[in-house]
Each structure stands twice: as C-alpha cells, then as structure tokens.
Amino acid sequence: MTTDHPFLVIGAGPIGLATAAHLHERKQKFLVLESGATPGAAMNEWSHIKLFSPWKYNVDAAARRLLEAPVDGSTGEWEMPRETSLPTGGELVENYLKPLAAHRALAPSMRYRHRVLSVSRITDNGLGLDKTRTAERGQALFLVRAQTPEGIHDFTARAVVDASGTWNTPNPVGRAGLAAPGESEARAQGRITSPLPDPLGADREKFSGKTILVLGAGHSAANTLIALGRIKRENADTRIVWGLRGMANPIKLYGGGAADQLPARGQLGTSLRRLVDTGQVELMENTSITSLSADSQVRIQLASGGDLVVDYIVPATGFRPDLSILSELRLELDPAVEAPRELGPLIDPEFHSCGTVSAHGEKVLSHPETNFYIVGMKSYGRAPTFLMATGYEQVRSIAAHLAGDADAAAKVELHLPETGVCSTDLAGSCDAPSAVETGCCAEPQPLTLGFPTGTMHGFAQLRTSD
C-alpha cells in the first residue's frame, strides 16, 4: 500500500479526535469523517449533563500535548481548564473537542456532515474486493463510502479506525432485545423520550405533574430518577415509576456510596436509594413490555398480564453497535456482547465491572480484516463497562502499530479503581451520569455524569444498557 493514502478515522468524538492526535504525533497522514456538523455532535445532545470526573481526567495525553505545545516560541494556544472542576458535556465540547478539531494540525483533515455508509476493500488499480475475496486482501486499500453534502463519495485509506460510538443505535424498550409492537409509533409521537432528557431544564414543564416510566437499571436511569424526584417536590402530582427489566437488581447501583473514589458518582446510589425508600420513586421489577399503544398517553402491556398507563417512557435501556456499515469486512466478534472476539471475555458485564477490565490495545482489538479496528464505546459492543481512559489507551496502541512501533503498541497500561458502582449507565459506559453532589433533596443543580480514572484518564461517550 502506498503512503499516499491516509489512515481514516470514523467519528470526531473524544476517541476519534484522540486517534487523530496520536497519528499526528507520529507524523502519519489521516482523515476524520464525522456525520455531525461539529466535533462531539452526539455529546451536544446531552450538553446539560455534568461529568463525575474533573477536567484532568477527561483529556487525552497526546491531545493535551498538541493543544499546549508552544507556537512560534510563545505559550500554547490552549489552556487547560481548572483541573479539579467538573465540566458538563457541552463544556467538554466547547472547551476541548472544538479547539482540538480546529487546531492547525487536525483541521485540514476534518470532514463534517460526512456519514459513512459502508466500508469495503479495493486494490490499487481500482478492483473491488468484497468479503468473499481473499487474494491480496491484506495489502488492499479500504474503500469508505460516505454521504457528503455534495452527494455520495468514495474515500480510500490504508487503515480504518471506527470510533463512531453507539449513540444513534439505542436498544428497544420491548422484551428480548426486540422492538415492542407500537414502539416506533410511540417514539414518533414523542411518548418515548431521548435516553438523557433534561428534567430540570428544557423538559421540566413537560414532565411536571405527569406519570413517567424510567426503564433501565443503570446510571442514566438513576440520573433521570433523581432529577424527577426534584420535580415531584415541586408538583406532588408527578408520579415516577422505575421499571427494572428481567432480574436487574438496584443494589449494584446503590453500591459505592462514600467509598467511591469519585464522590459525585458515589452520591448517585445514596440519593437514589433515599427516593425509593421514601416512596417518591415506585420500584417495579420484571418490567417486560410486550406492546405499546400511544395517543395522549402510552398504554403499556406487560408480560405479567397487567398494564401500565404513563405519559412518557424514558428509555435508559442501552445502546448497541451499528455493524451494518461493516458488512463487507471480515470481523471476529464475541457472540454475546458483539465486541472484538478477544475483548469480549475481558469486558463481559456478568464477570467484570469497569474497574476490573484489563488494559488492552491493538492486538486484542484486531480482526481478520488487516488494519481495521473498532475502538471506543463501539468496541465494547453491548457491554456497559467502557471507560474513556480505556479508549484513549486503545487508540494510543493502535496509532503506534500503524506507525510501525511494535514495542509501543504492545505495551499497554491502565490502572483503574474498583469503586463498587458499576452496572450500566449513561450511554452504557462506566463513566455514567450521577446525582448532583449535594444529593436528591438539595436545590436544583446541573446533573452529573461520571468517570473513573486511569493512567490515560478519560471521559466516556454515551450508551446505556441493562
């Protein structure tokens, strides 16, 4: 393969831009395709959420070196925000991702409103190689087809790193991983909200005095429940139902408390437990939805034979990877969590929490398709144990490998605390949303979402899961 072709990164979130920063640091040519109009477009959809982790844990090491590097003998163009403060998602985009994407080292390689439709392979002379073709495959270029503002365009690349995340592919609210009959209609009518609504801001009036079912057993569910608890203080007619699917147990989410190494996250379980114990939140176990009927309200048919009528459903039910764009590539995926096969056993939520996932890099993330990698939230498939610190280490290793530094690629390090607060969460990572630091009964504050720490440190993209 000729070096005239770039390495191509799909997605301009924290992990995608970190990939670009590491490739630039190693003097590699790259191109970033982002489906949104700005960097961190998915994060802008939950800009009101505050992170658990302070600034010093939310910035990739190579990105920080790039942003702080002196320019023409003067100080760098970017100054790190106060390291101990907790940013919101919007602040992280405005004060980190946008300056990073606009940096002179990255900006010429950024392409916005470029939605990747498919990835395949092609020879130097233009002959296509679908999944069935083996000869010369390992040395072939990648063909990346994207919808651009000007129409369909084909890009060629020496390697592809898919950091597109999972925000746009939510799990259904129906049982057995399937959409319930009537679910699409309920979504179209707005009776099923976004996974991370803004109860104390834009959605306050919509939720006040209504009956809301929050479905899910993770941190994003807890975050919404705690915010709704504040609305109930203002309007006693507000009814809050917490639906746990299957055999989900809230005790895992309650855990941690004062022992959590990130206090804002530890407060999450304490505040939620208080709401349940005092009856402000009604806990409903084994909430298995068989069908929905929506008009001015939503009538929910349950597998138990009963029904429930609510005004809104908040679907904190998780996300899953969109693998359709990769159908012409040879992938090896874990059959349970849909992560790369070697990674699956390391992150399986039945055996691991966010603090027990081993450091891993290029070798674990590789597929039979040479020089193709899925990274970040999408690399964890349906597992909810992802940490942004893990993603930063993933792409550091992959960039080293693509640049020919085998020793650096093989040396992976990540030290994460075991805090006892890891089940599922905001967009499915262990960097989940939390209650405000002052607890459920304090005056309204920005909501919080959390991030355990590690040597590479980090912030999580979004994805929730039961």
Give the range among 121-125, 196-200, 416-420 with minimum mean pLDDT.
Answer: 416-420
Tell me whether the CATH fold assigned to 7-168+319-449 matches the one assigned to 175-248+285-315: yes
pLDDT tens digit sequence for 321-351: 999 999 999 999 999 999 999 998 888 776 6
For residues 164 and 135, the model is more confident at: 164
Sign of the Cα pseudo-torsion (337, 387, 41, 204, in order): positive
Closest CA to 100 of 28, 15, 159, 9: 15
- Residue 445 clears pLDDT 70, i.e. is over it: no
Whole-model pTM: value is 0.85
pLDDT above 80 (res 355): no
d(CA 3, CA 1): 7
Structure token pair of residue 302? 């349950």
If one looks up domain 175-248+285-315 in CATH, what number appears? 3.50.50.60
Q: Which fold has domain 7-168+319-449?
A: FAD/NAD(P)-binding domain (3.50.50)
Beta bridge partners of 442: none
**Cα(141)–Cα(355) distance, rounded to whole angstroms?**
38
Sign of CA dihedral 388, 229, 227, 261: negative
Give the per-residue pLDDT at 293.
95
> Which amino acid type is present at position 203?
D
What's the token pair of residue 362?
């290029």
Mean pLDDT value across residues 217-236? 90
Using CB atoms within 10 Å of the CB of residue 228, give its burial: 0 to 12 exposed, 13 to 18 middle, 19+ buried: buried
Q: What is the pLDDT of residues 138-171, one digit of tens each?
A: 889 999 999 999 999 999 999 999 999 999 998 9
Mean per-residue pLDDT, 237-245: 94
CA distance 89 to 191: 25
Distance CA 38, CA 35 (A): 9
Torsion sign over Cα 225, 231, 234, 237: negative
Every domain of the chain and the residues it spans: 7-168+319-449, 175-248+285-315
Q: Contact 300/174 with Cβ under 8 angstroms?
A: no
Say if CB 186 and CB 292 are below 8 A apart.
yes
Map residue 248 onto helix, strand or coil: coil
Given this model, what pLDDT does residue 435 score? 35
Summarize the confidence of residues 84-104 as an average pLDDT. 93
What angle separates helix 388-402 from helix 61-68, to the nearest 10 degrees? 80
The pLDDT of residue 51: 77
Rounded Cα distance between 384 and 386, Å, is: 6
Q: pLDDT of 377-435, one tens digit each? A: 999 998 877 878 889 999 999 999 999 999 999 999 876 544 433 333 334 444 434 33
Please tell me the least confidently modeled range out of 52-66, 100-114, 440-454: 440-454
Q: How far is CA 316 from CA 243, 285, 309, 380, 387, in A?
A: 10, 15, 18, 17, 18
Question: Which residues partner with 141 through β-bridges?
Answer: 122
Please tell me whether residue 169 adopts helix, strand or coil conformation. coil
CB 434 within 8 A of CB 450: yes
| Buried/exposed 276-313: b ≥16 CB within 10 Å, e otherwise | beeebbebbeebebbebbbeeebebbbeeeeebebbbb
Alpha-helical segments (H) within 349-405? 362-365, 388-402
Task: State the pairing for strand pair 159-162/211-215.
Answer: unpaired
pLDDT of residue 443: 33
